Amino acid sequence: MSIIRFGTRGWRARYDDGFNEESVARIADGVATIWQEAKPHSRVLVGDDTRFASREMAMLAAEVMAAKGLRVYLSDRICPTPALGWSISKDPDAVGGLMITASEAPADYGGVLLLMRDGSPATRIFKDELEATMPPSAPEGRGSYETINLMDDYLCHILSYVDKDLICNAHLKVMVDPMYGAGEGYLARILRDIGCDVTEIHGGLHDDFAGIHPDPMEPWVDDCEAGTVSSKADMGLVLDGDADRLSVVDEKGNLLTPKTMIPLLMDHLVTDRKRNGKVLATISCSSAIKTQAKRLGIPLTETLVGFNRLYAEMWDAQVMLATEEYGGVCIPSHFPERDGLLAALLMVEYRAMRDEPISQLEEELERAIGHYDYGRRDIRMDYGSIDSFRLMLPGLNPSSLAGKKPKSVSHGDGLKLTFSDGSWTMIRASETEPMVRIYAEASNSVERMKLMKAAIQLVRSSSL
């Protein structure tokens, strides 16, 4: 029996190291037991991405849950995670859902993501209960499920969020890269439907994703960057493996990092769309987001790292947008989870409304809020070392770092040091992997690298 432990984004494992029919069946049986006891004979929705054997695993999960007495509906086609989550949130009879996906992980990984009745990922309490409820071996019972079209209503809904006539009249040329993931075909189609000239790359089914990782960051976005320039597109849009995150490429082939994309989106929502409300961001996000919120005159609340930490705050009806360090964007009025396709439509609307190149909008943003140089570095450890480091980290309190005395020290989520010039660094142990994550931000790359190197040295010396 393999050990199954759920992290912040569900459970993932390599195909040759635990992701198999037995594990999926055990998870499906455990979650069905909980849901059947809580709300007998409720509806459960199931979706799957484009990975090898995802469809077969989704069918298996549907059969196992149906055998427990639940009414199970499996998406009749490839289904992005946001489409499944939104569909659950709009179904009054749904108790939750199960998505077969490993999101941005490499092609040799599979995974299971559990969604609650509002479409948000399962809480830690629910996952702990599931881990205690799962049977030690795969159940034998199988039931019948039905198939359902989850995509048409979802796509119609996200299109209703934007000004379709405005976008159509802008005659934009867009490069779309779904990275062989669950967004394949969908984003390109709806953009064409509203008048964009779209070229899609990395589409279709490839068991190995043609060697790329479906993670919208360097170097995996190289083809989209080059294609945006060579095709003279106005912008490139890159989705991750399950289409819950977006990255944008400007017309010059430069990737917009979250510290740029999120403030631009905030500007669009507040200035162009006249929206108002609070922004939620994790403490590992760039200070550019905080500065932009102040410039726009909207409140910002910071939470501990992890999108799951943002959910507790989303019940406030005043929340306009929530985001985390990777650039995932949630519009709570849509539903309480990230949606890369909706974020893409909003960025296209922004480009159409401003009628300026994306690179020019970037330059205007930097003039308004200043330059921020942000970076992250991951340090892997063995399990014994990471456990020791987790115990030691709350007591780590350096008087200086890189020759700078901290203005404030926080142990709320690892260790975060903020300095009088606005620069900062943060050290935290991953909750799900034997890894320490180090963040640093300053006004230029030289100062940021000094902080990063000093923080790395602090971690290594402290873990000896």
pLDDT given for residue 464 in this prediction = 57
For position 310, what pLDDT does the model report? Answer: 87
Residue 55 placed within a domain: yes
* Pair (298, 420) in one structural domain: no
Mode of pairing for the β-strands spanning 235-239 and 146-148 = unpaired
Same domain, 168 and 280: yes
pLDDT tens for residues 178-197?
999 999 999 999 999 999 99
Average pLDDT over residues 201-222: 94
Question: What is the structure's pLDDT at 127?
Answer: 94
**82 falls within a domain:** yes
pLDDT band at 332 (very low <50, low <70, confident <90, very high): very high
Say which CATH number the domain at 377 has: 3.30.310.50
Residue 3 lies in a domain: no
Write down the pLDDT at residue 282.
Answer: 93
Is 6 a domain residue? no
pLDDT 10s digits, 228-253: 999 999 999 999 999 999 999 999 99
The H or E element containing residue 23 is helix 21-38
Full domain range(s) for residue 82: 11-150
For residue 249, the tally of other CB atoms under 10 A from its CB is 25
Task: Give the residue from 104, 124, 150 where a domain finishes.
Answer: 150
**Residue 1 pLDDT exceeds 70:** no
Three-state SS for 162? coil
Q: What is the mean pLDDT of the segment spanning 355-367?
A: 98
Q: What is the average pLDDT score of the chain?
A: 95
Based on the domain organization, do 93 and 61 belong to the same domain?
A: yes
Mean pLDDT of 434-455: 96
Nearest to 317, CA basis, from 350, 280, 271: 280
pLDDT at 316 > cutoff 80: no
pLDDT tens, residue by residue, 33-45: 999 999 999 999 9
Amino acid 433: pLDDT: 77
**Percent of the chain whose predicted confidence (pLDDT) is above 90:** 87
How many CA within 13 A on the CB side of residue 359? 10
Query: What's the structural domain count of the chain?
Result: 3
Confidence of residue 293 (pLDDT cuts 50, 70, 90): very high
Answer yes or no: do 119 and 240 share one domain.
no
Does 261 score more than 90 pLDDT? yes
User: What confidence tens digit (pLDDT) does each residue in 123-148 have?
Assistant: 889 999 999 999 999 999 999 999 99
**pLDDT tens string 385-425:** 888 898 889 989 999 999 999 999 999 889 999 999 999 99
Q: What is the DSSP string of 331-370?
A: -TTT-SS--HHHHHHHHHHHHHHHTS-HHHHHHHHHHHH-
Say which CATH number the domain at 69 has: 3.40.120.10
List, in sequence order, every residue forming a beta bridge with 407; answer none if it has no partner.
Answer: none
Taken in order 59, 63, 64, 66, the sign of the CA dihedral is positive
Residue 306 has a pLDDT of 77
Considering the entire predicted model, what is its pTM? Answer: 0.95
Domain boundary among 150, 178, 213: 150
Question: Is residue 188 domain-resident?
Answer: yes
Tell me, yes or no, whether 170 and 141 share the same domain. Answer: no
